[in-house]
Amino acid sequence: MTSSTRPAPDTKSTLIKGLLIGLLFGGLLAFGLASLLLSDSSKHGNGESAHSGVNTHSGVNTHSGVNTHSGVSAHSDKSAHSDKSTHSEKSAHSDEAGNKAPLYWVAPMDDSYRRDKPGKSPMGMDLVPVYANDDAASAKSNERTPGTVMILPNVQHNMGVKVAPVTIGTLQQTVTAVGNVAYDEESIMHIHPRVSGWVDRLFIKSQGEQVEKGQALYTLYSPELVSAQEEFVLALRRGDARLIEGAAERLKTLGLSKGVIEALQKTRRVTQTVTFNAPQSGVVEALNIREGFYVQPGTTLMSIAQLDSVWVIAEVPEKYAQIIAPHNSAVVTLDEMTHGVGAKWESHVEYIYPSLSETTRTLKVRIPLNNSNHTLKPNMFAHVVIMPTQRKAALLVPRSAVIRTAEGVKVVLSDGDGNFKSVRVTLGQSDSTHFEVVEGLLPEDDVVVSAQFLIDSESSKSSDFKRMKAPDHQATTTGTIETIELPADTETNGASNNAKLVIARGPIEKWGRGPATMSFAVSKHIDLSQFKEGDNIMFTFVTGEEFTVIDMRKRSEHAMDRGIMHDSGHSNHKHDTSNLKGDGEQSDAHESSVHKSMVHKSAEQKSINHKEHMHHD
């Protein structure tokens, strides 16, 4: 009995120990699996593994007790919710990325160069992606004129593209030239003998020597002078007044001074040599004789010039020949390093020489200067600045925008929407910052002043070098000038002093408007002196507070056809036949009222202006 009952406690304790060890290993296993699943879920952001892990280990955790099972269930619900939201966000993001996927990649400077993946353009620039929502921009690009280049804003920034407007103003011209100081030729006196003879004594030793008036220059032996003195002495001895007067007059004619004749009359002694004196003060500009020279009438013995006034002969470049005029202001300066800051003279252009130098292709201009202190010396170099008369108002374009090529002068136009195009222009005069534009540009056009050479190299490949499409507020048509009203005060530059024109204009196909007679303001850069009432013209105007003509030329058949084709070719408006007919009837009624009365004319003009503004708005 005793031996059979002892093993029971040991068996029971062994079972308890086994159960506890099993529970411990089961718990460790469940904890390890749960940790592994949680780390995998946080790493990949994918709820599928976490969800399956929770479902799998929920059964295991049921053996560990109620608290453990409930904790895993709560975590399972939270993970499932998190996985669902993450999956939906990921799906939405993938859909959005699919909608914005590039259709192709295009070169920034050439939209015809397309590739199906990123890369480099032939110019070495990164290709730009084009998306599906760029279809509108692509359709708009198809309307661009030949040679138009489209550049994205970020690419413009990287290239350093800068634009500047075409303005209306006057050139501030200054003509800079180099000159040299010369004698005032009007003050130079040349000394010639009136008889033949020999230079007995020369008192002037070198060229440039300073002389005073009355100073002895040289003595001359001449048999003719000796004979004339003897005749005068003989007349004195005879006491014949007529002979005395004749002999004295002959001595004066031969060049003897009054003092020499009076001395001869007193002494009555004939001298073999006669002394000749300086007729004026100055410097010896030329000395052509030495003692013992034989001279005769026509020989230039010497020249005496004065330095109280001098000339500056400036060499003006040929391109400024048309703008220089007499009496233009001039400023002459010397080298400041040598002569000091005060070496400055203000004067004017006195004379313009009629021919150019064959060697230097320059025009000589004479400027007189006062040189009472004798600071200026002949043959000195001087800097000359001439201020031409102020020119009339004109279209001005910055110098940095001009591109000169063998084919002509070009600028790069910008429409403000990222489109650029090279156009050919005709230039006039210039100053240090601007060129006058004769043809090719209009007021308020924008031109590229930085990075234009790179754009021109691309645009010139296919450009027709004509202007881009005109903006909506600008129109070109033909007409006839009926009235020219010049401003009362032409010197004032106020906007209210713009000239006025009454023009019987033709139809404007761009806006679907018929012919009408209207009043226009005229931009200041247009020279109305070339036009008169009754001229047939082609003109371009813009709308605003008032209609302003910004370009006007006399009409020719070729210009008329070209202008009408240009305006109609770029029109974006569909024309309504009924509207055109109605406008024509209004125009006929208006023209009849113009012929009836000037009062009715002005009233109709105001009415039409109002209608045009309403149409444009």
For residue 447, give every residue at least 6 positions away whose Cβ sits within 8 Å of its Cβ, in sequence order, or none. Answer: 163, 164, 165, 166, 397, 398, 401, 411, 412, 413, 414, 441
Within 10 angstroms of residue 484's Cβ, the number of other Cβ atoms is 16
**DSSP state at residue 341:** T
Angstrom distance (rounded) from CA 516 to CA 229: 97
Q: Is it the case that residue 52 has pLDDT exceeding 80?
A: no
Average pLDDT over residues 384-390: 90
Q: Do the domain assignments include residue 259?
A: yes
- C-beta of residue 72 within 8 angstroms of C-beta of residue 59: no
Residue 144 pLDDT? 64
Specify the range with the lowest mean pLDDT, choosing from 20-29, 182-191, 370-379, 605-614.
605-614
Q: Give, for 212, the enclosing helix (H) or strand (E).
A: none
Angstrom distance (rounded) from CA 348 to CA 311: 11
Residue 460 pLDDT? 83
Cα dihedral value 394, 395, 399, 404, nearest 10: -110
**DSSP state at residue 400:** G
| CA nearest neighbour of 196 among 120, 258, 255, 269 | 255
Residue 340 pLDDT? 64
Q: Do the domain assignments include residue 10?
A: no
Alpha-carbon radius of gyration of the chain: 51
For residue 175, give every residue at least 6 positions away whose Cβ sits within 8 Å of its Cβ, in sequence order, or none. Answer: 316, 317, 320, 323, 324, 385, 386, 387, 388
3-state SS, residue 613: helix
Q: Tokens standing for 281?
A: 């003060």
Residue with tokens 């605003």: 544
Q: Is the domain of 479 the same as that of 583?
A: yes
Of 351, 385, 419, which one is at a domain's C-terminal end?
Answer: 385
Average pLDDT over residues 112-127: 87
Angstrom distance (rounded) from CA 347 to CA 335: 18
Q: Is the domain of 216 the same as that of 118?
A: no
Q: Do the domain assignments include residue 182?
A: no
CATH number of the domain where residue 261 is located = 2.40.50.100
Residue 304 vs residues 208, 211, 372, 548: alpha-carbon distances, Å: 9, 8, 17, 65
| CA nearest neighbour of 567 among 445, 505, 476, 474 | 476
Residue 341 pLDDT? 61
Say how many domains are in the chain. 6
Q: Is it the case that residue 49 has pLDDT exceeding 60?
A: no
- C-beta of residue 299 within 8 angstroms of C-beta of residue 192: yes
179: left (phi over 0), alpha (psi -120 to 50) or beta: beta
Q: Give, for 479, the enclosing helix (H) or strand (E).
A: strand 474-485
Of 385, 406, 435, which one is at a domain's C-terminal end?
Answer: 385
User: Residue length, the chain?
Assistant: 617
| CA nearest neighbour of 524 among 549, 555, 488 | 549
Residue 38 pLDDT? 61
Q: Which long-range contacts (CB under 8 A, 24 or more apart) does 88-95 make?
A: 90/45
Average pLDDT over residues 402-430: 90
Residue, of 99 and 590, whose pLDDT is higher? 99
Q: Is the domain of 165 the same as that of 115?
A: no
Q: Do the domain assignments include residue 574?
A: yes
Average pLDDT over residues 258-285: 90
Q: Do the domain assignments include residue 3?
A: no
- C-beta of residue 416 within 8 angstroms of C-beta of residue 145: no
Within 10 angstroms of residue 302's Cβ, the number of other Cβ atoms is 22
pLDDT band for position 11 (cuts 50, 70, 90): low
Angstrom distance (rounded) from CA 432 to CA 174: 8
Angstrom distance (rounded) from CA 32 to CA 211: 126
Q: What is the pLDDT of residues 299-352, one digit of tens each?
A: 999 999 999 999 999 999 998 888 899 999 999 998 765 666 668 899 999 999
For residue 584, give every residue at least 6 positions away whose Cβ sits within 8 Å of its Cβ, in sequence order, or none. Answer: 514, 515
Q: What is the pLDDT of residues 475-532, one digit of tens each?
A: 888 999 988 988 765 444 444 467 889 999 999 888 888 888 988 988 888 888 888 8
For residue 16, give every residue at least 6 positions away whose Cβ sits within 8 Å of its Cβ, in sequence order, or none. Answer: none
Most confident segment among 94-98, 250-254, 484-488: 250-254
Alpha helices in 501-555 (DSSP H): none
Q: Tokens standing for 69?
A: 């099972």
Q: Is the domain of 319 the same as that of 430?
A: no
Residue 488 pLDDT? 67
Q: Is it the case that residue 27 has pLDDT exceeding 50?
A: yes
Angstrom distance (rounded) from CA 350 to CA 182: 14
Average pLDDT over residues 152-167: 90
CATH number of the domain where residue 357 is located = 2.40.30.170
Q: What percent of the chain stands above pLDDT 70?
A: 72
Q: Which long-range contacts (CB under 8 A, 24 or more apart) does 87-95 make?
A: 87/47, 90/45
For residue 147, give every residue at least 6 positions away whose Cβ sits within 8 Å of its Cβ, in sequence order, or none. Answer: 421, 422, 459, 460, 461, 462, 463, 464, 465
Q: Is the domain of 342 the same as that of 401?
A: no
| CA nearest neighbour of 129 among 110, 159, 103, 94 | 103
Q: Is the domain of 477 the same as that of 589?
A: yes
What is the domain extent for residue 528? 470-617
Angstrom distance (rounded) from CA 304 to CA 285: 5
Residue 347 pLDDT? 93
Angstrom distance (rounded) from CA 357 to CA 552: 39
Q: Is the domain of 477 the same as that of 595?
A: yes
Q: Do the domain assignments include residue 118?
A: yes
Q: Is it the case that residue 611 has pLDDT exceeding 60?
A: no
Q: Is the domain of 415 the same as that of 430?
A: yes
For residue 350, give every residue at least 6 positions away whose Cβ sits within 8 Å of its Cβ, in sequence order, or none. Answer: 326, 366, 367, 368
Average pLDDT over residues 582-590: 41
Q: Do the domain assignments include residue 183?
A: no
CATH number of the domain where residue 500 is located = 2.40.50.320
Q: Is the domain of 462 the same as that of 475?
A: no
Q: Is the domain of 479 the same as that of 605?
A: yes
Q: Is it the case that residue 41 has pLDDT exceeding 70?
A: no
Q: Do the domain assignments include residue 188?
A: no
Average pLDDT over residues 246-265: 89
Angstrom distance (rounded) from CA 547 to CA 520: 5
Angstrom distance (rounded) from CA 455 to CA 208: 63
Of 47, 66, 88, which one is at a domain's C-terminal end?
Answer: 88
| pLDDT, averaged across the chain | 76
Q: What is the pLDDT of residues 520-546, one digit of tens each?
A: 988 888 888 888 888 899 888 888 888
Average pLDDT over residues 43-68: 37
Q: Is the domain of 511 the same as that of 455?
A: no
For residue 157, give every residue at least 6 positions away whose Cβ sits within 8 Å of its Cβ, in sequence order, or none. Answer: none
Q: Is the domain of 480 the same as that of 563?
A: yes
